Amino acid sequence: MNQSNTEASRRGVMTAGLGAVVASAASVASNSSAAAAPPQPAKPGSGVLTTADGTQIYYKDWGTGQPIVFHHGWPLTADDWDAQMLFFLSQGYRVIAHDRRGHGRSSQSAVGNEMDTYAADVAALAKHLDLKNAIHVGHSTGGGEVARYVARYGGGGRVAKAVLIGAVPPIMLKTDANPNGLPLEVFDGFRAALAANRAQFFLDVPSGPFYGFNRPGAKIDQGVINNWWRQGMMGGAKAHYDCIKAFSETDFTEDLKAIDVPVLVLHGEDDQLVPIADSALKSIKLLKRGTLKTYPGLPHGMCTTHPETINRDLLAFFRS
């Protein structure tokens, strides 16, 4: 055989061999695919929902089990619930928290910064995550959001229970029907301070009344103050400005009357921002299935300053 024929023969053998290897590998891969489907991707843990008006709502979603949805106060974010989310995740619950529109990582919305839209956004999120038998927990402004959401959208097995913590219902503003409320000048002062120097205002609030750090003998936690400021400055000034009207002037009386699931009302007796006499003590009289628990000496931000106490009482209610 000459050299040309020898080389051709060698090329033929190599080609045939490589073809056999490729065919064998393809057969193995095919058989493996048939035997075991590829693993499903893990739930990412956070995401963004786009509402009908194009607003993007950021949310966290951790764990499995009965869902607990946390609703933050003004002007904060889902991060304000860290102590509760980590605890209840460890107790086997699915924990969810979102940044309200205009707050945190959600769109800095110029419109829709009022309670009807806030509640509709929660309804869209609940549908998106297919939440059923959920427990909704709201602090301060988030308590108003919970009241409106549960009253309007909580039927059909969506909601099992609700919790209002230091919450703004029934209504904060002084009116003819609510003569013991706070005068409009208080909230006008909030708006003026925010417009003049939001960064300083968002230091003054947590350094003073929010956590009770202005009380004699209070142990001041600078990290907590800094974290409040961080969360506040993530949001939009326009949305924060609008939200002052939403949390102070919205009347939740009819919402509270309409709720037919068990509701736990928790309130600090030294709450300087949402005085207990005109909030929790009135709300409990309007709820069909309400339970009230108050805490002597505790401030508005008691979920952060006293998480062990609050988490213990929440867990007992969730399991009851």
> Which are the catalytic amino acids?
140, 271, 300
- For residue 182, the 8-state DSSP code is B
Measure CA 106 to chain center. Answer: 11
Q: What is the residue type of 240? A: H
SS3 266: strand
- Alpha helices, DSSP H, located in the chain: 3-35, 82-90, 115-128, 141-153, 184-207, 222-234, 237-249, 253-258, 280-286, 302-305, 307-319
Answer for the pair 186, 275: CB distance below 8 angstroms, yes or no.
no
Residue 71 CA to residue 202 CA, distance in Å, equals: 20
- Strand-pairing partners, residue 137, are 70, 163
Answer for the pair 297, 189: CB distance below 8 angstroms, yes or no.
no
Q: Which residues of 184-202 are buried (b: 16+ CB within 10 A; e: fewer)?
A: eeebeebeeebeeebeebb
Retrieve residue 33's tokens.
Answer: 């695919």
